[in-house]
Amino acid sequence: MSDLKNLLLHRNGFVATIQLNRPQVLNALNMELMDELIALFDSLDKDASVRCIVLTGNEKAFAAGADIKEMANATAVEMLARDQFSKWDRIRKVKKPIIAAVSGFALGGGCELMMHCDIVIASDTAKIGQPEINIGVMPGAGGTQRMTRAVGKVLAMELVLTGRFLTAEEALQAGLINKVVPVEFYLEEAQKLAKEISNRPPVAVRLAKEAVLKSFDTTMEIGLEFERKNFYLLFSSEDMREGMAAFIEKRKPEWKGK
Ligand code: CAA
C-alpha cells in the first residue's frame, strides 16, 4: 500500500511496524486514518512475509482519541450511519500478533486501540485513560468492556467516570500493559519482542493467539475444548514435527510456517 496518508509502514525481517502519523493533532483517529489502518492490517495479515506487527505513534502521543472535530457536530443518526467503531472489530480479528509500542498519550479511542493489541510495551512517559466523560460522552470502541476485563471493575469505573489518566507505572501495576521502559527504548523494545515472536513457529503462534482471545468470548468449558482442538490441530503441522525432533536431537528448529 503506497498511498498511505495518515500512516507510515516500516518493515524489518518478519516484523512490520505501523506508525500512526497525524502528529499535529496527537494522532487523533479520524475516519480516514482508521480506514487506512484497517485496510493495512488486513493486507499485512495476508502477507506471508510478515509474522508480527508493531503499532506505534510518536514520543508525544500514541493517539489522543477519536477525532473530536470530526464528531462535534454529528447527530446520533449520522454516527450510526458512519458505524465507525464496528469496523474496529476487524482489528480484533487480525490473526498475527500485534504489539503496541506506546509513548505519551493513549486516550479514549487511543487507549481502546491499544487494548485491541495483544501485548503493550510503554514508555515511562505514557499517560493512559478514557477521558470521554469530560467531553460529554463515554467510551465507544470497547473501553468499558476491555478496560474492565483488564484492570477490574473498581479501577475501570474510576477511569471511565472521572477521565483520570494512569501513569505507565500504574498501568503496569493494574495489568493493562506488559512492560515500562525509558522513553528512548519503547519502540526498540517492542520491535525486539516482535522479532522474538516472529522467530516462533507461525502456525502455532496463530492458533495460540486465537485460543487466548477465545477466552474473552466464551465459557471455560467451551474455551478448553477450543484450546484442545487447536492443540491437536498443530500435530498436523510440519513445524510441530520439526520442533519436537529438534528438541530431541538437541539442535535449533527451522520453522517453515507449515
Ligand atoms: N481530536 C481532535 N484533535 C485533537 C485531539 C482529538 N482527540 N486531541 C488533541 N487534538 C489536537 C488539539 O485540538 C490541538 O490542535 P490545535 O493545535 O489545532 O489546537 C493539538 O491536537 C494539540 O493538542 P493540545 O494543544 O490540546 O495539547 P496538550 O498537550 O495541551 O493536551 C491532551 C494534550 C491532554 C491529550 C489534550 O489534547 C486532550 O485532552 N485531547 C483530547 C483527549 C480526549 O478527550 N480523547 C477522547 C476523544 S473521544 C473518543 O475517543 C471516543 C471513543 O471512545 C472512540
Name the residue ranges covered by the structural domains of the chain: 7-198, 202-249
Query: 130 CA distance to ligand 1 centroid (A)?
Result: 12
* Ligand 1 near 138 CB (within 6 A): no
Q: Is 66 known to be catalytic?
A: yes
Per-residue model confidence (pLDDT) at position 20? 98
Query: 150 CA distance to ligand 1 centroid (A)?
Result: 24
Q: Compute how many other C-beta atoms are within 10 angstroms of the C-beta atom of residue 188.
A: 12
pLDDT band of 146, cuts 50, 70, 90: very high
The pLDDT tens digits of the residues spanning 57-109 come to 999 999 999 999 999 999 999 999 999 998 899 999 999 999 999 999 999 99
Kindly report the average pLDDT of the chain as a whole number: 97
pLDDT band of 1, cuts 50, 70, 90: low
* Shortest-distance atom of ligand 1 to CA 107: 45
Query: For residues 111 and 127, is the Cβ–Cβ distance under 8 A?
Result: no
* Ligand 1 near 68 CB (within 6 A): yes
Tell which CATH architecture fits domain 7-198: Alpha-Beta Complex (3.90)
Whether residue 53 has pLDDT greater than 90 = yes
Closest among 89, 102, 109, 85 to 171, alpha carbons compared: 102
Q: Where are the alpha helices (DSSP H) in 56-185?
A: 68-71, 76-82, 84-87, 89-92, 109-116, 143-151, 153-162, 168-173
Whether residue 248 has pLDDT greater than 80 = yes
Query: For residues 4 and 34, is the Cβ–Cβ distance under 8 A?
Result: no
Query: 41 CA distance to ligand 1 centroid (A)?
Result: 25
Per-residue model confidence (pLDDT) at position 180? 98
Residue for grid cell 501495576: 173
pTM of the model: 0.97
Per-residue model confidence (pLDDT) at position 87? 87
Residue for grid cell 509474522: 51
pLDDT band of 2, cuts 50, 70, 90: low
CATH topology of domain 202-249: Lyase 2-enoyl-coa Hydratase; Chain  A, domain 2 (1.10.12)
Q: Is 184 known to be catalytic?
A: no
